[in-house]
């Protein structure tokens, strides 16, 4: 699916670009973002949310981003033929996330349905990522994704056999997280660490460059609904909680794919479909 998307022409991909990368486009949260030359986060990506429409977000934070906007897809006349399978993968990973959340609730001595409110109008994101190959003869950058923790609840990751993903262990050492056929890597995010009262730890991870090789990965970020109030299991009231939509909008201020970047010269976009219906 990821290779299917990234084999599209530059024009087809930029036709799906977020408004921060192509001002003519109306999509602000879902869609494509190009690789940023010179960045230590050297990757291009395509993001999709729930296949079905979500209620409009109401937030106290002024924003130009619409977290509940519909997905954008390549035209049915393009060479991309993986929309149906992409939406199926999204549904399967959302269901797996629900199962994992019930297990995490039990481990926190809460009812297995403790996280059920998080599933209502969930904003979960399925992302296709491509790390372009870097020429072995060029000045080699060591990292194509700098060390970070994921900001949300859970991340479920499929990766290819290229390698490069590393995680920081309890002893402060970077250790490889190799490709294992048929496996999914599960990361705890910052918000789940807070929800657990520190019992779970968000995983620092990075991606090392592989000279001459590209890399594909498909992370699924489980996210609560925009209006979901997220509390620590140790809190007895709501005064320390955070509304998820406000949380993610604040985090987006530091993410390169949501900065005011325009790189539109010389690229003609192709037809885009904006729809939540399958074909």
Q: Which of 119, 140, 108, 146 is nearest to 224 (CA)?
A: 119
Backbone angles phi, psi at 191, to 5 degrees: -70, -40
Q: Is the dihedral of CA 104, 108, 113, 117 positive or negative?
A: negative
The C-alpha atoms of residue 227 and residue 217 are separated, in whole angstroms, by 29
The C-alpha atoms of residue 1 and residue 74 are separated, in whole angstroms, by 13
* Overall residue count recorded for the chain in this entry: 279
Q: Is the dihedral of CA 64, 67, 70, 72 positive or negative?
A: positive
**Hey, which residues does 74 pair with through a beta bridge?**
272
Q: Which residues are catalytic?
A: 215
Token pair listed for 129: 């990522």
CB-based contacts of 188: which residues, under 8 Å, 6+ apart?
Answer: 154, 200, 201, 202, 203
> Which run of H or E residues covers position 142?
none
Helix/strand/coil for 148: strand
């Amino acid at each position: 699916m990821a290779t299917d998307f990234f084999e599209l022409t530059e024009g087809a991909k930029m036709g799906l670009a977020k408004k921060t990368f192509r001002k003519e486009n109306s999509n602000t949260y879902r869609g494509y973002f190009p690789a940023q030359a010179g960045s230590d986060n050297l990757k291009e990506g395509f993001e999709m949310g729930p296949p079905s429409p979500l209620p409009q977000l109401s937030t106290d934070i002024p924003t130009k981003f619409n977290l509940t906007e519909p997905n954008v897809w390549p035209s049915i006349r393009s060479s991309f033929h993986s929309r149906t399978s992409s939406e199926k993968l999204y549904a399967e990973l959302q269901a797996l996330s629900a199962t994992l959340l019930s297990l995490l609730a039990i481990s926190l001595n809460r009812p297995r349905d403790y996280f059920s409110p998080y599933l209502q109008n969930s904003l979960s994101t399925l992302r296709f990522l491509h790390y372009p190959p870097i020429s072995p003869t060029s000045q080699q950058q060591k990292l194509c994704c700098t060390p970070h923790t994921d900001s949300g609840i859970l991340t479920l990751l499929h990766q290819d056999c290229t390698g490069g993903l590393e995680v920081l262990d309890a002893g402060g050492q970077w250790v490889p997280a190799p490709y294992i056929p048929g496996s999914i890597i599960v990361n705890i995010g910052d918000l789940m660490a807070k929800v657990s009262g520190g019992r779970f730890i968000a995983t620092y991870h990075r991606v090392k460059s592989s000279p001459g090789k590209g890399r594909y990965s498909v992370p699924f970020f489980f996210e609560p609904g925009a209006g979901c109030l997220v509390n620590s299991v140790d809190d007895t009231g709501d005064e320390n909680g955070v509304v998820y939509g406000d949380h993610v909008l604040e985090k987006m201020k530091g993410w390169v794919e949501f900065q005011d970047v325009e790189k539109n010269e010389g690229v003609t976009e192709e037809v885009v479909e904006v729809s939540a219906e399958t074909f």
